[in-house]
Chain A
Amino acid sequence: MTRTRFHQNLDDLKEKLLVMAGMAEQAIQRAIEAYRVVDLSLCDLVARSEPAINRMEREIDQMALDLLAMEQPMAIDLRFILAIIKINADLERVGDQAVNIADRVREMQTLPLVQLPVDIPRLATLAATMVRNALQAFIDANPEMAEKVLRMDDQVDEMNRAVFRTLTRCIEVNPEISQQALSAILISRNLERVGDHATNIAEDVIFWVRGADVRHHLQTGS
């Protein structure tokens, strides 16, 4: 009764999700770089990658749906496919956040350059690291690494709040930089959302490997 073909299909599904992950990760890194060096060609690359990410999302969902319907998976295989479906949706949203950031960078490029007293690149690095580590946890089926990602989320949230506090004060004091400050606030929020998606991915890895639901700080098994 060994299900060799089915397990080969699961490997193929994982491989496809990793391709999707690579695309989403590249998009967010390009968007961050576009902000850091104000490079509109990178913004274009991000925008052009979105349809491919969306197409890949649909293909992965279809593959997962087919396996659910045709193979009726159980236990760790069932949890794996559920995790894939959810991670797939989070990766697509990471791609969307990359596009949002690229759009803000384009807007900022049309405005006079101002020095804002916030460290967006540091926040960006942290959010991108969360995504990288969550995906590495998925590749290695490593729930301990996924737990580390969960702990990083508080830091990203706090940095985002700090950006908001600092820049709203700047706008009050210096209203002529409102547009630039607002774009930076939005980018900060986009990065905070990227951190949330990485957190979701990490939670899905824990669910897949351990069968434990740790969402919303639940610590019990399923």
Chain B
Amino acid sequence: MGAAIEVRNLNAWYGSTHTLHDIGLTIPANRATALIGPSGCGKSTFVRCLNRLHETNPIARVTGTVKLGDLDIYDQSPVAVRRRVGMVFQRPNPFPTMTIYDNVASGLRLNGRSRRKPMDEIVERSLTRAALWDEVKDGWKKKSGASLSGGQQQRLCIARALAMDPEVLLMDEPASALDPISTSKIEDLIFELKADYTIVIVTHNMQQAARVSEMTGFFLDGYLVEFDSTTKIFTNPTEKRTEDYITGRFG
């Protein structure tokens, strides 16, 4: 099951640049939450704070609390956090020399799980959950992950994240490099995955945010301007800056 994420007074810096200012919101469990805003608004930085990826940059710094369930992720090891919070990036990044199978199994193996039989089950289940199994079941242990189409590669990356059985799946522009059919498969998948995971999706595509998410947050210049139900944000937002952005009056 997914877990709710409670963010309080979150601030982030790159060197001396203050990139996130006092962000506070509660991302509900087993729902898709979309984060929108113009380039450089802080939405990707924010999402990278949710799995402690932001601080991998030596000049980056974070303060505030991010609670996943009852625990503050900043009180746990980054590795433990990333086991609970999976991430999928804009460009599909399968390991090119590995088979489809090994791509999905890689995270588990790095974490010390290598017994063959359960691994088969886990990989098959992950590929099924990522809606890729039917397309790869004939060559999953032989074919390279790089032999798949872009859309399939992205679902392979989702399967790789799901193999760790996370509670949260962060998706940073997961469909922006894909064609409309592959995009629609990813969106359908997000809809399915909500039953088991909490999903946070960063997107520039507002129609996509409207289609897949229940909650939407609008970021601008490092501030969370508005966080509300997606229906409210896209039909009658409270803040004028939100309305001006989503109606294309700036951005």
Point out residues on A near B: beta carbons under 8 Å: 1-3, 6-7, 72-79, 211, 221-222
Contacts and interface: CB of A to CB of B under 8 A. Distances in A.
Contact of A75 (B38, B207, B235, B250): B235
Contacts of B236: 75, 79, 211, 221-222
B246 to A, nearest CB: 4
Contact residue range for chain B? 10 to 19
Contacts of A1: 38, 248, 250-251
Interface of B: 38, 206-207, 210, 233-237, 242-243, 246-251
A3 B250 CA distance: 8
Contacts of A221: 236
Contact of B235 (A2, A3, A72, A222): A222
Given A211-B236, A221-B236, A222-B235, A75 B248 contact: no
26 contacts: A1-B248, A1-B251, A2-B248, A2-B249, A3-B247, A3-B248, A6-B248, A7-B248, A7-B249, A74-B234, A74-B246, A75-B233, A75-B235, A75-B236, A75-B237, A75-B243, A75-B246, A75-B247, A76-B247, A77-B247, A78-B234, A78-B235, A211-B235, A211-B236, A222-B235, A222-B236
Contacts of A74: 206, 210, 234-235, 246-247
B250 A2 contact: yes
Contacts of A7: 248-249
A222 to B, nearest CB: 5
B1 to A, nearest CB: 32
B243 A76 contact: yes
B140 to A, nearest CB: 38
B207 A73 contact: no
Nearest to B231: A222
B251 A2 contact: yes
